[in-house]
Amino acid sequence: MTIHDHPGKERIDTVRSFNRFYTRQIGLLDEGLLKSPFSLTEARVLYELANRDGLVASDLVRDLGLDPGYVSRLLKKFEERGLVEREASEADARRASIALTTAGREAFAPLNQDSHDQVRALLDRLAPVDQERLVKAMRTVQDLLGDKPEPKVPYILRPLQVGDIGWITRRQGMLYTQDYGWDGTYEALVAEILGEFVKKFDPDWERAWIAEREGEVVGSVFVVRKSADVAKLRLLYVEHSARGLGIGARLVDECIAFARAKGYKRLTLWTNDILGSARRIYQAAGFKLVEEEKHHSFGKDLVGQTWDLQL
């Protein structure tokens, strides 16, 4: 197999094309970054020193992926120009922290402002909605290619908002097709259920919870009024990317707490036996299997189950 018929060539070419495009957009090919006397790497080192305290040379080597010899020569050059100064650590005299001098900060300030103005001009060319699309795409690139520390807040639960119904319908249709091979009739059922929920929504007796993580919807559940004494839990789901955080159990707990607070006597739900993860959540919350029935739905032979929780 040659490079020309490699199955990933189109994707590789797309990434390389984007790299060439973006370097032109922000002037990385210019001799000096933003018409300054500093190269891109020099400017990045200045940025780190301006925004972080107590840095040592090894920090720059590690965090910027630079050669130790290059960093040593660069810092020596900055010292000779009076841009940085070193101070030996009290704990370890061999480790000298590096900081910008007043002259260094004065040299960095216009570069930092020009960079800010350049990005602002780039965004000003776009409508607000397109600015948001661009920023979201950049966050996606950073998330996929960079380190992925756990966010300080793993997820939040919020009420239903405009746009959620279409998103949840689409995601549930896609996920159940991907995981279980269900056909489009399941997505149609979700659309019907959620459409009725919105049209007939009674805020005194019904509720929706949307799990959101880093600005993305990653799960949801709904409680609807079945009768004066019975509430129904519907359409619990959690995205693959957010599993393991306890979101499913938390959503079910919210449903139970809400149903009890409203005075319902029983919380019921219908599911299928192949949905093992959801079934385990229901069992752990105290639901009991009360009925099973074979059926053919969504292009598959399934076993439907009714689970009840006495409140």
Q: Using one digit for the tens of pLDDT, what is the confidence trace for 8-24?
A: 778 887 878 877 777 76
Q: Pinpoint the residues of the chain covered by CATH 3.40.630.30.
A: 156-310
pLDDT band at 114 (very low <50, low <70, confident <90, very high): confident
Q: Average pLDDT of 67-88?
A: 87
Architecture of domain 31-145 in CATH? Orthogonal Bundle (1.10)
Q: Pinpoint the residues of the chain covered by CATH 1.10.10.10.
A: 31-145
Cα 111 to Cα 85: distance, rounded to the nearest angstrom: 20
pLDDT (0 to 100) of residue 307: 97
pTM: 0.57
Residue scoring higher pLDDT (171 or 241): 171
Question: Is the pLDDT score of 132 beyond 90?
Answer: no
Q: Report whether CATH 3.40.630.30 matches the domain 156-310.
A: yes
